[in-house]
Amino acid sequence: MLYNTTANGNHWLLIQTIGKRATVTALETQIKLTSQSGSVQFNQVTTAGSYASSSDKRVHFGLGGDTLVKEITLRWPSGTVQTLHNVKADQILKVTEGAL
């Protein structure tokens, strides 16, 4: 059996969305993330993977060496826009529509 024992200094953030108005899973929520270094990433909540398959509905962002996310903007299917500031890396962040 082989094990990858390489030290990795990269950071990440996994966002789990919880909808209130449209659907509980908040599919199609658009997410914009601005990291500590200023890089911007976009993604969308989906389970579509490929033909006859699905994927995790949580949204994964790779942050490289950044340990903090400056800003996360979520545009929910209901039209609500929600912004979070100064979020720590290396966590599964549960975000509920409309909650701060």
Q: Rounded to an integer, what distance in angstroms lies between the CA atom of residue 49 and that of residue 40?
A: 23
Checking if the pLDDT of 22 tops 70, the result is no
User: 61-97, pLDDT tens digit by residue?
Assistant: 999 999 999 999 999 998 999 999 999 999 999 999 9
| Structure tokens given for 25 | 């899973």
User: 51-61, pLDDT tens digit by residue?
Assistant: 877 888 899 99
Question: DSSP H helical segments within 1-100, as ranges?
Answer: none
| Structure tokens given for 28 | 């199609």
| Structure tokens given for 75 | 């545009």
Count other Cβ atoms within 10 Å, centred on residue 53.
8
